[in-house]
Structures are given as C-alpha cells and as structure tokens.
Structure 1
Amino acid sequence: MIETPGILLTILSFVLVIGPLVFVHEMGHYLAGRYFGIKADAFAVGFGREIAGFTDKRGTRWKFGWLPLGGYVKFAGDMNPASQPSAEWLSLPAEERQRTFQSKPVWQRAIVVAAGPVVNFVVAILILAGFAFAYGDIRMPPVVGGTVPGSAAAAAGLQVGDRITAIGGRSVETFDDLARFARIRAGERTQIDAVRGGQTVSRDLVIGTELQRDRFGNEYKIGRLGIAGSKPVIVPVSLIEAPVIAVKRTGEIVSMMVETLSQVITGRRSVKELGGPLSIAKVSGEQMSLGLDAYVFLIALVSINLGFINLLPVPMLDGGHLFFYAIEAVRRRPVEPQVQEWAFRGGLAAILALMLLVTFNDLGNFGLWKNLAGLIG
C-alpha cells in the first residue's frame, strides 16, 4: 500500500529543511564579511515582500520576507553580479568605500564567498558526528559471506571467504565501499579483485540492476553485486572520533555526487533522474513521516548538496565567483568587467534552464504529464 505524508506535512517539512539551511549559508557569508570589516546593507530572511524588519546599529537592515525559504545577504558596494567596481562605487567617500566588498583583497573576498558552502558542510558534519556518537560506527569487512544465485557475484565465480581488495580499480576497505560503488553503476561492466587462499583473483562482471519501490511509491534503480557480507560489528565512537568519521562520510557522499554528475554529463545516466525543489519537498515530507532520525539525516544530505552545488564553477554560484578570483590571483588583475558580465548572464541562463528541466522532471515524477496525456487521449 502506497502511503503519502499529506500536503501540509510536506510543505512544513520542506520549509524546515530549506529555510534554515539557506539561512545558515548566507550567515556564513555575513559573518566572514563582518570579520573582514565589510558592511552588510541587508540580510533577508525569506524572500518576497518584507513583512517585518529592523535596522541594527551597524546599519544592516534585517528583513523578513513572506516566503520563508532561505534568504540573502547584500554587502555594501556589491552593486552588480560580478562585484566589480563601478562609477557609483568610485563616488563613495573613501572611508565608506573601505567598508565595501570590492575594496578588499582577493583572498578576503574569496573567503567571504567560500564561507557559505563551508558552513553547509559544517552543519552536515555536525549532524553526522552526532549520529556516529549516538549509534556508533557500523563496520563490516569486505569478505564474501555468500552470493545470491543468478547475481553478478555468482556469475563471476566469487566464493565464500573471498576478501575483496578492489573494484573498478579502486581499493576496498569495507563492505560499504563495495555497496557504494555498485549502487550508482547499475548495468556497468567492471573488474573485481579479491584474495582467495593467499592468491589474488580478478573477475570481470556486469553489475546487476534492482528496481526498488518504497512505501511512498517511489521507484529506484539500484546497482547490486549480489554479495552477502559477513556479520557487521557496531563499534562505539568517542566524541573525538565522531567528527573524523563524519568528515569521512561527508567525503564519501560528495564523491558519490561527483560520480553521479559525471554520469549525467557523459550520458551514462539519464537527465530524467535529476530532481529539483518539488522532489526535495516530496522527500522531506516522506522522511519526516518516517521519524526524526530519517528527517535529520535528510537535512545533512541536503546541506551537503547545497554546499557542493554552490561550489561548482558556474557563474552566479559561489564557485563561479571563486573561479574568477582564482584567475584574478594569477593574473594580478581582475577579469575584464564585460567578460564577467557575459559569463554571469550565461550562468544565469544555464541555472534557469536547469531549474526548468528539474521542475519538468519533478512534475513528470508526480504523474502530471501521464495524467494530461490520459485526459487528452
């Protein structure tokens, strides 16, 4: 039976995920800018028309918009998308100009821009560290405990007791390393290396495909090797070890994101699998209905996603700004304003096109296009 969390719970869950995460992202920019003496003209909590607000003693207008989905920070002197000096900026009094974003050296501007994504990663690491400390670390050696009949592992001739050392040319330390590799490579051919009786054996195999459906009716295509692991061991984690494990888990998640993105770019994975805000909203409601642990873990995943996406070298995103700052640091002068302007226009167009694509995909996943086709037919 397919369960649905309900529209009100879905909306509430989405707001409680996206709103705070975008807020802390912008707070990262704000605090870094404040540390370097940059004045913030405005810090908006939410979007749309201002429904309440106040101006603090530093002259920052704190605005609360009617749509509580994040916000933004506007630094003094940041008068164009490329943050380039303009005639308006040059006309400012010298003392006021020193408190603007453009007046700061490139390394300070880079830190201010990078602070937003960094905070998103820090939030995720804190959450994952909390899970590690509360529940321990599940560790399972990459030893074959059995193979599923008809599976990729069985077809490759893997045997009980084989210790997997590498897959696809990548070293394997835990059973999770195997599962993560296979999960996003359904149907791909690869090589698996193992130690059997002191001898190294190598086998080629095609990763199996398993179609899963959860209680909410969502379908997922998962890559499976068909290997049963040995008995897992839950190891208690200290407060000192927890952040280390959390950083490692964050790195593994980012690595999987990079792999998945490369698969989409190279055509090995369909663009139809890309989701947007509507998908996040749907999953938010589903995870909240599953319990607090599932919901908090989703917040960590979304926070990592926000940090990762914002660091992509796409103009209009933080990574695009950092890309131009890197060029400026090498050339010892900024990229020409007209070049940046056209780059940011292109970046905006690309982001808008991506938003249209993922929204189209989301509506398709919700069955809208199928229903419309049925009505027309």
Structure 2
Amino acid sequence: MDTFIAVIIIFGVLVAVHEWGHLYVAKKAGILCREFAIGFGPKIFSTKRNETVYTVRLLPLGGFVRMAGEDPEEVQIKPGYEVGLVFKDDEKVSKIIVNNKSKHPEAKIVSVERIDLEERLTVEAYTDDKEGLQTFRVDDKCDLIVDEKPEQIAPLNRQFRSKSPLKKALAILAGPFMNFVLAFVVLLLVGIVNGVPQHDNAEFGKFNEDSPAKEAGLEQGDEVNTIAGQSVNDWEEMTAVIQEHPNEEINFEVVRNGERISTSVETYSRYDEFSEQEIGMIGVQTPTDHSFIQAVQYGATQVYEVSMVIFDTLSLILTGEFSLDFVSGPVGIYNYTGEAASIGIFFLIQFAAMISVNLGIVNLLPLPALDGGRLLFIGYEAVRGKPVDPQKEGLIHFFGFALLFLLMLVVTWNDINNFFL
C-alpha cells in the first residue's frame, strides 16, 4: 500500500509539473486552455478557475492540457439551426444555447443564417419579431451551452493554430523543460539537506549503527592512507580494497589531526547483486558537503549523467541491440519504486528525479502523440509556411497514441513475466 501511494504521489507531481509547463507558456502566448487534466478516463474531481477546468481523472497514466484550436471545434452550428441567445448588459451575446432551450426562458430564440465565432464574432439570424435578418454581436468569452454544459468559444486569436510556429514550439517544449527543472531542483534540495557525496578523498563520513570501524576506534573525518598494506587515494579505491576482504580482520592506517593512527577492523559481508558475490563492509558512509555551490553542481551533474544514460539506451535502437528488458512499464516502475522506498526517503526522491528526466526525454522523441511528434509538425509548418490540416494531424497522433498504448501493454506483460521468473 505504501508503494502504491508513493507511485501515485510521484507520478501525480511529475505529470502536474509537466502539464503546468504547457499551461503556463500557452496562457502567456494568449492561447485559451480549456482543460488541465491529471490522468485519463472518467473525471473524479473537477473545478474551474478563470477560463480553465482543472480535473483529476481515474487512470493516473499521464495528463494533458486541452488547448483551443489544437483539434477541430466539436460544436458546429449550421444555417437554419435554432439557438437561444442570452445577452449581457452591453447587448453582446454572453451565452448561446444550442439545445434544451426550454430550460432557458431568458434566451431569445433565433434561426441562424450565418454565424462566425472566430473572427467577426457575430450571429446573423432571423427572429420571431419579423424584423428581418438581424446581426448580434458576440462577446469574446461567450459560452456555448450544449446539454447544459458550457464551453467558452475560442476566437481565432485565442487558438493554438493561429499562433506563430515559435510560440507553438515554446508551449510544447515547456512541458519536458519543466521535468528537467523539477529534477534539478529536487536534486539540489537533496544535496543541501542530505549533503553531496565527496569521493575525491579517502575519508570517513558518518558511521552506521554497530559499525565495526567505529568499534575499532576510527572516527568521522579520519583520512585513510593504507588498508591491508595497500595505499588508497580516494573513496573508490578505499571501498574497492575493503570489498575484497569480506569477514576478515584488516589493518587501517589513518591520519587524524596530523597524527598517524593504526588499528585493525573486522569487516562483515553483504551479497552484491552486480558482482554476484560477497563483499566486505565496515559500516562507514561517504563524507558529504552541504554547501549551496556543491548542491548546484550535484543537481546539474546528476541531471546530465542520467540524461546520458537514457540517450545511450535509446541509441541501442539504432544499432539493433535494443531489448524490452531495457525499459519498464507501470509494473516495473511500481516494483522499482517499492525498492527505492525501502532504502529511504532521500533515495526515493532521487529516484523520482531520475524518472522526471526520463519523462522529459521520452516526451521529446519524434513520435506521434508525444511532444516531439508535435514539434515535428510545427517544424514542418515553419518550413512549408502553413500548417498541416488539423484533421490529418489529429489522425496521425491518434494512431501514434494507439501504437504507444500497445507498446505499453507489451512492456507491462514483459514486466509481469520478469516479476514471476
């Protein structure tokens, strides 16, 4: 249960930050954002603030920002259709009742001859007053009421498709960018609070409980010269020598306040899954630095290194060496999250930062339905001088989403098989 809660919180935060990046830049560009959603499927929570409906949906597998003009408008009012008009004090139309007009006695019933809700913002219609064709001005924030559900109209200047390729690209890039920012900030805070590991010197950090090194009289801050007669210069060399001597008594020569001290330590052993053998341990942690500068360097370095590992994995696709064992679906991530949580809160937080980097990079892949695929269409528009037909683009993204969903099912099945093997 704790693992399930951790997964929900981690993915909820990662998706929320990603989608908030899209939302923030899109609104700054003047795009009407109809919905900000965490998850897919049926709504379990909904609230509206300003022009945007904020929802939480049942399936926590992602999220989206629904921008006006990305897809063709669903409601189309054709000539001869009867609608109800509700007016503001300035006599502009504030609501257009598409159906269930009897529930709105305040509405003026008209028969539409021409309607333009994108550029001119007018309704030309006939009324029962026998005054002939009349023109009604429409407020730029007018609501279309369909089945008693209001949806704000989107004038052309508020639509995604009307913006320049640069503004479109920035709105799309903002999501993955925020994942990198989140990872950096999280790792920065971990570095400040938990300290940044220092591997340049062979020096003792904190001791674990029942540490044999502490029992032998060694102290935090001791600088190690030799172990078992072997000279060591940094943390990696020190731990390598210790690991070679499981369940053995080995001699340490350290320097403390300028004085050389020699003592023997009885190591204990732990099974290492990577080397598949027992390794020696003495219960000492890496020394850490809590300075802000070190934390900044740590955050930036970790984001870079994790990114390089992901790029290396993705490059295997080009060489034909790619395997499903290199990726994990929901089941695999659930298991890894449980393992990270069992180690400790700071390790879990670092694991979440790595997933955030992964989410940012994967979303930039040039595949339909992902942000990278949408950027391809924007780039094509910039070169061609006009956008791709929205219906054709929507169809391509739909098939891309279907293929990604199929891939997720295959990966999940592979995770399940690996889990029970």
Give the TM interval when normalised to the shorter protein. Answer: 0.5 to 0.7
Partner of 2:69: helix, strand, or coil?
coil
Q: Which residue of structure 2 lines up, in the alignment, with residue 363 of structure 1?
A: 416
Does the residue aligned with 1:46 lie in a helix, a strand or coil?
A: strand
In 2: Cα distance, 1:65 partner to 1:353 partner: 21
For residue 8 of structure 2, give the secondary structure of its aligned residue in structure 1. helix
Return the structure number with greater strand share.
2
Say yes or no: does 1:268 pair with 2:321.
Answer: yes
Q: Against the structure 1 CA distance between its residues 49 and 349, is the aligned structure 2 distance closer, same or farther, given a 3 Å change threshold? A: closer
Counterpart among 48, 51, 55 of residue 59 in structure 1: 51
Give the Å deviation of 1:69.
Answer: 4.9
2:160 alignment partner, SS class? coil
1:293 aligns with 2:286: no
| 1:26 equivalenced with 2:85 (yes/no) | no
Question: Which residue identity does 1:119 align to in structure 2?
Answer: M
Q: 1:248 to 1:319 in 2, by over 3 A?
A: same
Q: Give the structure 1 partner of residue 369 of structure 2.
A: 316
Superposed displacement of residue 175, structure 1: 7.2
1:157 aligns with: none
CA shift in 2, pair 1:124/1:243, >3 Å: same
Within a 5 Å distance, the mapping from 1:155-304 to structure 2 comes to: 213=273, 234=287, 236=289, 238-304=291-357
- Residue of structure 1 equivalent to 2:5: 12
User: Does the 8 Å CA contact 1:15/1:69 hold for their aligned counterparts?
Assistant: no
Q: Which residue of 1 aligns with 2:157?
A: 98
Q: For residues 104 and 59 of structure 1, what CA distance do their matches in structure 2 show?
A: 19
Hey, what's the Cα distance between the residues in 2 that align with 1:278 and 1:323? 31
- Which amino acid in the other structure matches residue 65 of structure 1? R
TM-score (norm 1): 0.65
Higher RCO (CA < 8 A, seq sep 6+): 1
The 1:86–1:349 alpha-carbon spacing in structure 2 relative to 1, beyond 3 Å, is same
- The corresponding residue for 1:109 is 168
Displacement, 1:266?
Answer: 2.2
User: 1:327 maps to what in 2?
Assistant: 380
Which secondary structure state, in structure 2, belongs to the residue aligned with residue 366 of structure 1?
A: helix
> Is 1:124 matched up with 2:183?
yes
What's the CA shift string for 1:332-376, capped at 9, x where partnerless?
333455764564355234313321221121111121xx6xxxxxx
Q: What's the offset of the Cα at 1:133?
A: 2.4
**Contact 1:118/1:307 (CA < 8 Å) preserved in 2?**
yes
Kindly report the root-mean-square deviation, in angstroms, between the aligned alpha carbons of the 2 structures: 3.8
The aligned counterpart of 1:77 is 69
**What is the CA-CA distance between 1:78 and the residue it aligns to?**
2.0
**Within 1, Cα distance between the matches of 2:59 and 2:394?**
29
Question: For the residues of structure 1 that align with 2:164 and 2:383, how far apart are their CA atoms?
Answer: 13
CA distance, structure 2, for counterparts of residue 22 and residue 240 of structure 1: 29
* 1:70, distance to aligned residue in structure 2 (A): 4.5
What is aligned with 1:347? 400
Corresponding residue SS for 1:71 = strand
SS at match of 2:163: coil
Report the equivalent of 2:89.
none
Which amino acid in the other structure matches residue 357 of structure 1?
V
Determine what percentage of the aligned residue pairs are the same residue.
Answer: 33
Moved more, 100-109 or 340-349: 340-349
**Structure 1 residues 337, 77: CA separation in 2 closer, same or farther (over 3 Å shift)?**
closer
Deviates more, 1:297-306 or 1:279-288: 279-288
* Aligned residue pair count: 285
1:264, distance to aligned residue in structure 2 (A): 4.5
Cα-to-partner distance string for 1:55-90 (whole Å, 9 max, x where unaligned): 22x33222232345543211122216xxxx999699
The letter of the residue matching 1:35 is K
Would the alpha carbon gap of residues 15 and 254 (structure 1) be closer, same or farther in structure 2, given more than 3 Å must change?
same
Query: d(CA) in 2 for partners of 1:271 and 1:97?
Result: 44
Q: Which structure would you say has the larger Rg?
A: 2
Alpha-carbon distance in 1 for matches of 2:378, 2:200: 44
Aligned 8 A contact 1:17 1:284 in 2: no
Q: Which runs of 5+ in 2 are unaligned?
A: 78-114, 120-139, 141-154, 203-229, 238-270, 277-284
Residues 10 and 284, structure 1, Cα contact 8 Å, conserved in 2: yes
